[in-house]
């Protein structure tokens, strides 16, 4: 399983620079004018996980396979996109294909960047939000009231939901902020609404603000009501991506960065999509696997191979902490820290697992 996250924003907000930093190489075309990205650039990024190296040393393997995130660098949006302005429908379709959205908001100045308006992250977001709300309204307005004489209970519930969602959008409220019951969420899924997608907010800041906290920057730009803000200087992250090992650590220290902004972004992606990681550790490889929070052991086994889920018998489970403390499967088993779990077991973050199955 991989994440699919679309990077969106107004033209020249720094989306492509951020994307290139994520991939640690120049793939997207960066230029200081609108629409230099037309088709979305797609890149697969490794999820930083220090646990993998530790496990590899314990089980004596050199092969490490991290979990991955798929990022899409989507063309810049302009006012009127919902009516076809700019790249219009193409832009919206690329967002629709993403599981979550990263909103990149510009908070830096650059005389080379072609832009008439003053720097205003709040205003930039309102433009994007308005266009996405209008696009969702168009989707819902295509729905028709069911014929009362033949409508089922589900038909009536779906129509009531359509009216509820339309009212919210008309008031400028994104669907992800509407209080929906579990049943309503299921009924809304087939609409594929853009503003229902989980959202992450990246503030692309000046170089001298790279070490500021999200709270500080949110207060400065009056963005506190939007949720967690991740300040990232895309330009600095590009420079960091060109460094290796200790050089990167030293440069981060100079900037006052405890961790890369990109690491925060990737980890936030896991959080908003409700994902977690389990680990496998053997002589052939150490690997991180991505599953949904709440997934059972058979579901997790199915991520490795569908036959593992079908033929699931038991899961041999040890927490990462105990696996490290007791130096592997044997030591953990002798200490009574390895458990055999059945089909009802819900996986936990950082479980180290071996599956037993019949094929």
- Asked if residues 2 and 24 have their Cβ atoms less than 8 Å apart, the reply is no
In angstroms, the CA 11 to CA 34 distance is: 5
Q: Decide which of 271, 306, 332 is a domain's last residue.
A: 271
Q: Are residues 299 and 266 part of one domain?
A: no
- Asked if residues 250 and 239 have their Cβ atoms less than 8 Å apart, the reply is no
CATH number of the domain encompassing residue 83: 3.40.50.300
- Asked if residues 74 and 91 have their Cβ atoms less than 8 Å apart, the reply is yes
Q: Are residues 341 and 214 part of one domain?
A: no
- Check residue 125 and give its pLDDT: 92
**Do the domain assignments include residue 281?**
no
Tokens, residue 317 = 């489970």
Domain that holds residue 328: 294-357
Q: Are residues 233 and 190 part of one domain?
A: yes
Q: Are residues 338 and 224 part of one domain?
A: no
Q: Is 293 marked within a binding site? A: no
Q: Decide which of 240, 271, 302 is a domain's last residue.
A: 271
pLDDT tens, the chain, 359 aa long: 556 888 888 888 888 888 888 876 433 333 333 333 334 577 778 888 999 999 999 999 999 998 888 888 876 665 554 555 444 455 677 788 889 999 999 998 866 655 556 789 999 999 889 989 998 999 999 999 999 999 999 999 999 999 999 999 999 999 999 999 999 999 999 999 999 999 999 999 998 888 888 999 999 999 998 888 999 988 888 888 777 778 877 887 887 777 778 888 888 888 888 899 999 999 999 999 999 999 999 999 999 999 999 999 999 999 999 999 999 999 999 999 999 999 999 999 999 999 998 86
**Do the domain assignments include residue 285?**
no
**Do the domain assignments include residue 320?**
yes
**Do the domain assignments include residue 287?**
no
Q: Are residues 309 and 193 part of one domain?
A: no
Q: Are residues 168 and 73 part of one domain?
A: yes
Q: Are residues 318 and 178 part of one domain?
A: no
- Check residue 150 and give its pLDDT: 92
CATH number of the domain encompassing residue 315: 3.10.20.30
Count of the separate structural domains present in the chain: 2
- Check residue 90 and give its pLDDT: 59
Q: Are residues 352 and 234 part of one domain?
A: no
**Do the domain assignments include residue 145?**
yes
The residue count of the chain comes to 359
Q: Are residues 300 and 226 part of one domain?
A: no
CA 5-7-11 angle, to 5 degrees, is 165
DSSP assignment letter at 9:
-
Tokens, residue 132 = 């996405």
User: Backbone phi, then psi, for 84, in 5-degree steps?
Assistant: 100, 5
Q: Is 29 marked within a binding site? A: no
**Do the domain assignments include residue 283?**
no
Q: Decide which of 208, 238, 271 is a domain's last residue.
A: 271
**Do the domain assignments include residue 14?**
yes
Sequence-distant (6+) residues with CB within 8 A of 11 are: 33, 34, 35, 76, 77, 78, 115
Q: Are residues 311 and 257 part of one domain?
A: no
Q: Is 13 marked within a binding site? A: yes
Q: Are residues 302 and 258 part of one domain?
A: no
**Do the domain assignments include residue 284?**
no
Q: How far is CA 236 from the centre of its chain?
A: 21
- Asked if residues 328 and 59 have their Cβ atoms less than 8 Å apart, the reply is yes
Q: Is 15 marked within a binding site? A: yes
Q: Are residues 349 and 245 part of one domain?
A: no
């Amino acid at each position: 399983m991989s994440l699919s996250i679309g990077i969106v924003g107004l033209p020249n907000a720094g989306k492509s620079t951020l994307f290139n930093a994520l991939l640690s190489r120049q793939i997207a075309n960066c230029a200081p004018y609108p629409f230099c990205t037309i088709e979305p650039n797609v890149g697969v990024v490794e999820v930083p996980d220090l646990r993998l190296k530790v496990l590899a040393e314990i089980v004596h393997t050199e092969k490490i396979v991290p979990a991955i995130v798929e990022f899409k660098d989507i063309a810049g949006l302009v006012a009127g996109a919902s009516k076809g302005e700019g790249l219009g429908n193409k832009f919206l379709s690329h967002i629709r294909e993403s599981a979550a959205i990263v909103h990149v908001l510009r908070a830096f100045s650059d005389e080379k960047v072609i832009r008439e308006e003053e720097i205003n992250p709040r205003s930039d977001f309102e433009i994007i939000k308005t266009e996405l709300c209008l696009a969702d309204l168009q989707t819902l307005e295509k729905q028709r009231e069911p014929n009362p004489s033949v409508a089922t209970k589900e038909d009536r519930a779906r129509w009531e939901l359509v009216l509820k969602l339309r009212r919210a959008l008309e008031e400028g409220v994104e669907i992800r902020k509407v209080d929906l019951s579990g049943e309503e969420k299921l009924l809304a899924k087939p609409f594929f609404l853009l503003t229902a997608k989980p959202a992450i907010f990246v503030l692309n800041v000046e170089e001298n603000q790279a070490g500021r906290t999200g709270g500080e920057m949110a207060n400065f730009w009056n963005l506190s009501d939007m949720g967690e803000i991740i300040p990232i200087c895309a330009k600095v992250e590009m420079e960091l991506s060109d460094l290796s090992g200790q050089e990167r650590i030293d440069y981060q220290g100079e900037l006052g960065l405890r961790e890369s902004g990109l690491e925060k972004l990737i980890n936030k992606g896991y959080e908003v999509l409700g994902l977690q990681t389990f680990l496998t550790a053997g002589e052939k490889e150490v690997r991180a696997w991505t599953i949904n929070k709440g997934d059972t052991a058979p579901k997790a086994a199915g991520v490795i191979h569908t036959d593992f889920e079908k033929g699931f018998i038991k899961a041999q489970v040890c927490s990462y902490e105990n696996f490290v403390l007791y130096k592997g499967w044997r030591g953990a088993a002798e200490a009574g820290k390895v458990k055999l779990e059945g089909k009802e077991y819900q996986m936990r973050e950082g479980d180290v697992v071996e599956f037993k199955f019949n094929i």
